[in-house]
Amino acid sequence: MKDIISCLFIVVAGVFQTFSGDTSALAAENSAEQWTRFEDAFVSSKDYGNPVQDVEVKVEFASPGGEKRTLLGFWDGGRRWRVRFSPDEQGEWTYKTSCSDEGNRGLHNQRGSFQCRRYQGDVPLFKHGELRLSDNRRYFEHADGTPFFFLSDTVWCGPLLSDEDDWDVFLKDRVAKDFTAIQFVMTQWRMAKTDADGNPTFTGKDKVAVNPAFFQRMDKYVDAINDAGLLAVPVLLWAIRGDDNPGYYLPESQKIALAKYMVARYGAHQVIWFLGGDGRYSGEGGNTWHRVGRAIFHEDQHRLATMHPGGKSWVGKEFRNEPWFSFVGYQSGHGDDEKTFRWLNQGPPATEWNNKPNLPVINIEPNYEAHNGYTYRRVHNDLSVRRAAYWSLLVSPPAGVTYGGQGIWGWHTKVHAPADHISTGLGSPWYVAKDLPGAFSMKYLHEFFKSIEWWRLIPSPEILTSQPGKEDASKFIAVARSQDGDLVVVYLPEGGSLTLKTDSLGKGLTARWYHPRTGGWLDAGKIEKNPQTFKTVDRNDWVLLIKPK
């Protein structure tokens, strides 16, 4: 009788699909749209004491063109196992399972097929296809070649602590403010020992036992990010010192086991992975993460990955040649002093972006709005946010940048200082903090970059005749231009005047001032002489754009 029930479950589960617009629907046919998620479920014929440790299930997918990809299945509680897959080719796919316990007739040598149809919706993540590096390896693009501007919001505790209705409200707000990605922590960590329902991610240390209830709840939140048209950017293993952070205290083998589980479960979503969060990545610490990355990321998985380093540390040197390392993510941090400003606008982000092999460079944690500065305890305001963002985008070839707001990243529901981060200051509830002025500045920032071919820009400080940032790093003027000289972008953090050498620029160009606080424009005249001086109408920050009329 038990075997009959298992067989019936397999038949029903074989038609279970998840789509970009309805992640809980049972499909009427065994099919999936291109770039969305296909899912199948299997029932083990045996019980295991610790399934994630005791048995491994692999699923080999064969495309309509005959190419093969092998992914891991994942345990989902009881005797249930699942596989999720994002098909990149239209037509009929076939698949078969293999189990490390070949005697398990429910998990070994199971076969199936499904039809991949053309995507019919209008969500860019699915319409244009999965993300990859551009040909010049400077930015992200979709499978069809459409450039992708990474504008992420930092919501570390959001999926862990929010309820589903609040999460939906927040995601709709971030879509309205033109964000394209959401950064969050996918496991228990120093700021959230369990999820809102009291579920830990796992128990144990030397041999972790995964808790399916935690991930069944997490599924809804990751689904919602993609369903809203946003890229999911989870930290797999928060790694700063402390017995609450699995990336720090778990032995290497268990870091691998836990991370492989999460990659198997969410690798078919539209994601970019942050492998470690705030850890030590040099010396033997770096070697550990090299091995962990190689063990969990592989060519068939098709997702980009990086590390999330601590403040003012540069991991390009340690990881640039790792086969799984897709871009240099760095954290300029929350300092408010000359040293911090200079590190960002004249340090590694500005000087090491051209090292080989080329990789996109993205500031994934600049200063958070409404967060106390580290040195002078001045609260970072919307100008602090804009200044760090525009500097980050123009001192390296632009690929994207991240925003953070106090009250949002810790998912506050009342005014308080985040636990374990008391010195950072008070944060408003998330539903208030979501409308901090700097969040609107990010909307205007994205609108500006969408108006130009930003992917053609490279840093060009040499066309500026005088750099005030040499004397005072807070006044640093960032300049980038296209190689052809037909596109120039300049950011002035304090207004005033600047003079550009225009002899290397194209002909017939005009200049306009962009108001990064409201999104408005002012005429700045034609490019008529070399050098040419431009002056703002006030002492606020401004962006100068030069391009053909």
The pLDDT value given to residue 282: 84
Domain 460-548 has CATH 2.60.40: yes
383 pLDDT above the threshold of 90: yes
Return mean pLDDT, the chain.
93
Q: Is the peptide bond before 493 cis (omega within 30 degrees of 0)?
A: no
Which pLDDT value is given to residue 71?
98
CATH 3.20.20.80 fits 131-457, yes or no: yes
Q: In the CATH hierarchy, which fold is given to the domain comprising 2-121?
A: Immunoglobulin-like (2.60.40)
Q: Quick check: helix, strand or coil at residue 154?
A: strand
Convert the pLDDT of each residue in 7-16 to its tens digit.
443 333 443 3
Residue 1 reports pLDDT greater than 90: no
- Residue whose C-alpha is closest to residue 229's, from 187, 284, 172: 172
pLDDT level of residue 392 (50, 70, 90 thresholds): very high
Question: Taking 60 as the threshold, does the pLDDT of residue 30 lie above it?
Answer: yes
Sorted by sequence, the CB contacts under 8 Å of residue 399 that are 6+ apart come out as 138, 139, 140, 149, 150, 327, 360, 361, 362
pTM, whole model, 2 decimals?
Answer: 0.93
User: What confidence category does residue 393 fall into, taking pLDDT thresholds of 50, 70 and 90?
Assistant: very high
H or E stretch at 173: helix 164-176
Do the two domains 2-121 and 131-457 of this chain adopt the same fold? no
Of 351, 356, 350, 359, which is closest to residue 392 (Cα–Cα)? 350
At residue 7, the 3 state secondary structure works out as helix
The arithmetic mean of pLDDT across residues 91-110, rounded, is 98
List the domain boundaries for the chain: 2-121, 131-457, 460-548
User: pLDDT per residue over 396-417, tens digit each?
Assistant: 999 999 999 999 999 999 999 8
pLDDT in tens, 420-473: 888 888 999 999 999 999 999 999 999 999 999 999 999 999 999 999 999 999
Let me know: does 174 contact 162? Beta carbons within 8 Å.
Answer: no
pLDDT at residue 49, rounded to an integer: 97
The pLDDT of residue 29 is: 53
* Cα-only R_g, the chain: 24
Place of tokens 């319409």: 127
